[in-house]
Amino acid sequence: MDTKKLDFMATLKETIDYGIKNVASLLLMAVLYVLTVWIPYLNVGTTIGLYKGVVEISKGKVLNPMILFDKQNFENIGNFFILIGIEFMAIVPAYLMGIIPGVVLGIAWGFAILFMIDKGTTPLQSLKVSYDATYGEKWTIFFLELVVSIVFGLVGSLLASIPKVGILFFIIVMILTVAVMISLQAVLYKHFSSKAFPEEEIVEETVITE
């Protein structure tokens, strides 16, 4: 497995680059997801579609927001709930033992769904691959996500205090936050996918060269 580590500033820069490349698609996807996330059953498909969107962006593709409503999303519904169930049963006790173990385990398994969707791994395989790939880099992931959350949280709070139009600006910032977090997850997944499956990168580079 590749041992190259995440670079904090380089990751933020690439997140911005990915975000600019997909800004319109990300914003539309974020809006569509927010509008449909409350609809029972459909929200399962759109949530899986959201993860598929992350995978698409991580491969350098321009995102198609309508991937949220791809009927193939429901083909993964069984494994999706099995994986979520396993994570829940393990992470809850971890939190009961103290917040830090729960946070660490949540970060360690944070890319399991992406591996399952992208690589076709089983729920248990996905958890192991995600855990192994993120080994030694969990705190970098934590601080990257924390910085993005704090920055957008502060901006949203400040704009929300503006009389009359504050709530509108707050909603816009929240949608932008979803879009940026999707972009960040894509950049992180690209890194960890290349660590977990380095042979696939070699194949892709060979094809491009030829």
Spans of the chain below 70 pLDDT: 1-3, 200-210
pTM: 0.85
Per-residue tokens: 176:
């932008």
Instruction: Note the pLDDT tens digit of each residue in 171-189.
Output: 888 778 878 888 999 999 9
Query: What is the Cα–Cα distance from 131 to 104, expressed in whole angstroms?
Result: 10
Domain-by-domain residue ranges, the chain? Answer: 8-209
Q: Nearest CA to 53 among 84, 129, 61? A: 61
H or E element at residue 61: none
Give me the pLDDT at residue 81, please.
Answer: 95
At residue 56, the pLDDT reads: 93
3-state DSSP percent of the chain in helix, strand and coil, to 5: 80, 0, 20
